[in-house]
Each structure stands twice: as C-alpha cells, then as structure tokens.
C-alpha cells in the first residue's frame, strides 16, 4: 500500500512475510518510475532494499508469530534517495548493524559461505547507513546515490 | 520453483524458468536443484538467462547447490544478466564459479 508522504516522496507499508518483500519492492520501483533512473540504479535500489527487508523479516520478526509491519519511507533530495525503513520487530543485537566485511571466498569449496552477504551488499551499495532503536521500533536509514 | 533440465552426454543443463532467485524461493531452489542433479552428470550448467534479480539468499542457494555437488561434480553458471553478474562480482563469488556468457559457450568449452 502506497501513501503520499507529507515530508517525502512516498511511503510503502507491508507485512512481515517473505513474499511481502517482493510486493514491497515492486511497489517501491513503481513509485520510482517517474524518475527515469538507469537500470543499474534501479537494480541497486532493489538489491539494497531487498537485503534490508529480508533481514527484518528473518531476524526482527523471525523468532515469533506476532504479526508485524514494515514501513519504507522514501524522500528525494539532491544527493540521492533517502530511505527510512521502520519496523516494530526485535532490536538489532547490541543495537547496531552487523559487520560489513566481505565474506572470505578464498577457502576450500566445502567452507564457502552461504550467507553473510546481505549487510556487506548494503554497505557496498548504500551510504549514510544509520540504525536506531526508537521505543519499540527499529529505524534504518540509508541513502542511495542516483538520479545525477 | 520452475527449473527445467536437459542431459547431453556428461553434461546436465538446468535452466531457471523464473525471473527471481530471492529469499522467497531460495529454499525451494536448493531442494529442486538437489532433486534434479541426483546421480546425474559430472558437470551441471546452471542457465540463469531468465533471471533478472538475485539477492544474497539466492546467491547462498546457488553456492549451496555447488557445494552439494562437490567434490566429484561441479556446477558452472551461464547466461548471467547484468544485475545477476553484479551480485557475483561484488561478493567476489565470480572467482569461485566457472562463468560463461551463454549455455552454448559453456557447452563448447566443457565438451573440450
């Protein structure tokens, strides 16, 4: 569900299910269409948001069956698109985002990592990444440079 | 998860008939890959030509599929679209897999 955001550009709300992430991404990209971004920029935004939303679904809400809500608020500024992702799930461990280092791929085949790429991709593709626990909600802010 | 499979001599070509390998289908992808490759060819070519989006869960599922075939068999990738190739490059997984621009290229190279 999309709403016109008062302060920003648009506001998308979804439930805490894996398939809802697909719907949210589709909706965000539809809202971005008027900006005529390049395929690469659209791909970057889709990937960054997918990783952030999947983490929320899996970790903030994964532990219990309590229904949750995730909001994605987008505002457009000169330096790019600013996204605020807000959920009412569990806090991040130690109230901070996980390590952003790249998983080591110079290892034996059997030891290759099958996970741990998500935050690395977010940190690689987005900037100004900030996380805060506000009351019972998580606020993740990030910026994607685009639009020239 | 819609995957189709073709065999030719010692090579199996599995084509992903969907546009996304993401968190929603990563488990289904892994399971289906295991079923399709059971007792099959030494080399499996995964055709990603129809895939326009992959996230870290999808990447992890492809890595899992490769590990599942090892050490005696191998998985190579073909037909990576720009967005998919980017995820492999950023995570440096492009150095781990054999990558071919098309299935035909892969088959030519693998037949030797």
- Chain B: give the shortest CA distance to residue A45, in Å: 11
* Interval A79-120: pLDDT, tens: 999 999 999 999 999 888 887 788 889 999 889 999 889 999
**pLDDT over 70 (residue A132):** yes
- Is B106 among the domain residues? yes
- Is B1 among the domain residues? no
How many domains does chain B divide into? 1
Q: Is the dihedral of CA B40, B41, B42, B48 positive or negative?
A: negative
Radius of gyration of chain B (CA): 13
CB proximity A51 to B under 8 Å: yes
Q: Stretch B37-57: mean pLDDT, rounded?
A: 96
To which residue do tokens 């037909």 refer? B79
Residue bearing the bigger pLDDT, A5 or A70? A70
Domain membership of residue B59 as a residue range:
8-111
Determine the pLDDT at residue B37.
Answer: 96
Helix (H) or strand (E) holding A100: none
CB–CB contact A112 B63 (8 Å): yes
| B window 54-83, beta carbon within 8 A of A | 55-57, 59-61, 63-64, 66-67, 70-71, 82-83
Q: What's B28's domain CATH number? A: 3.30.750.24
To which residue do tokens 């280092």 refer? A101
Determine the pLDDT at residue A7.
Answer: 54
**pLDDT over 80 (residue B65):** yes
Chain A, chain B: beta-carbon pairs less than 8 Å apart: 78
Determine the pLDDT at residue A18.
Answer: 77
Q: Stretch A43-70: mean pLDDT, rounded?
A: 90
Q: Stretch A28-52: mean pLDDT, rounded?
A: 96
Mean pLDDT (chain A) is: 90
- Is B3 among the domain residues? no
* Interval B2-27: pLDDT, tens: 999 999 889 999 999 999 999 999 99
Give the chain A residue whose CA is nearest to the CA of B87: A121
How many domains does chain A divide into? 1
* Interval A115-131: pLDDT, tens: 889 999 999 999 999 99
User: What SS3 state is found at B21?
Assistant: strand
Q: Stretch A21-29: mean pLDDT, rounded?
A: 95
CB proximity A102 to B under 8 Å: yes
- Is B63 among the domain residues? yes
Other C-beta atoms closer than 10 Å to the C-beta of A124 total 15
**pLDDT over 90 (residue A2):** no
Domain membership of residue A62 as a residue range:
2-144
Q: Stretch A24-29: mean pLDDT, rounded?
A: 96
**Which residues of chain B make contact with A117, given a CB cutoff of 8 A?**
56, 59-60, 91
Rounded to the nearest 5°, which phi and psi values hold at A100? -105, 10
**Which residues of chain B make contact with A124, given a CB cutoff of 8 A?**
90
Query: For residue A6, what pLDDT band results from cuts at 50, 70 and 90?
Result: low
Cα(B85)–Cα(B89) distance, integer angstroms: 6
Alpha carbon of A42 to those of A50, A84, A147: distances in Å?
A: 12, 17, 10
A144 forms beta bridges with: A81
To which residue do tokens 């398939």 refer? A19
- Chain A: give the shortest CA distance to residue B5, in Å: 24
CA-based nearest residue to A140, from A96, A94, A60, A85: A85
Q: What's A107's domain CATH number? A: 3.30.565.10
CB proximity A109 to B under 8 Å: yes
**DSSP state letter for B81:** -
Which residue in B24, B55, B64 is closest to A114 by CB distance? B64
- Chain A: give the shortest CA distance to residue B46, in Å: 17
Determine the pLDDT at residue A101.
Answer: 85
Query: For residue B64, what pLDDT band results from cuts at 50, 70 and 90?
Result: very high
- Chain B: give the shortest CA distance to residue A41, in Å: 10
Determine the pLDDT at residue A65.
Answer: 67
């Amino acid at each position: 569900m999309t709403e016109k955001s008062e302060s920003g550009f648009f506001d998308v709300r979804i439930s805490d299910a894996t398939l809802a992430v697909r719907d949210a991404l589709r909706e965000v990209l539809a809202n971005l269409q008027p900006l005529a971004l390049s395929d690469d920029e659209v791909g970057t935004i889709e990937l960054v948001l997918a990783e952030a939303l999947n983490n929320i679904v899996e970790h903030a809400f994964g532990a219990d069956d309590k229904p949750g809500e995730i909001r994605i608020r987008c505002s457009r500024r000169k330096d790019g698109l600013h996204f605020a992702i807000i959920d009412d799930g569990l806090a991040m461990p130690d109230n901070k985002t996980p390590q952003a280092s790249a998983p080591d791929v110079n290892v034996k085949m059997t030891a290759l990592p099958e996970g741990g790429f998500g935050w690395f991709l977010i940190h690689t593709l987005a900037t100004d990444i900030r996380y805060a626990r506000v009351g019972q909600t998580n606020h993740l802010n990030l910026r994607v440079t685009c639009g020239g | 998860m819609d995957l189709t499979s073709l065999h030719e001599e010692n090579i199996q070509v599995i084509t992903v008939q969907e546009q996304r390998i993401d968190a929603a289908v990563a488990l289904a992808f892994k399971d289906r890959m295991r079923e399709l490759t059971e007792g099959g060819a030494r080399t499996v070519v995964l055709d990603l030509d129809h895939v326009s989006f992959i996230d870290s869960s999808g990447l992890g599922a492809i890595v899992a599929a490769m590990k599942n075939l090892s050490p005696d068999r191998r998985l190579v990738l073909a037909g990576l679209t720009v967005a998919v190739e980017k995820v492999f490059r950023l995570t440096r997984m492009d150095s781990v897999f054999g990558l071919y621009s098309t299935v035909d290229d892969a088959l030519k190279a693998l037949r030797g």
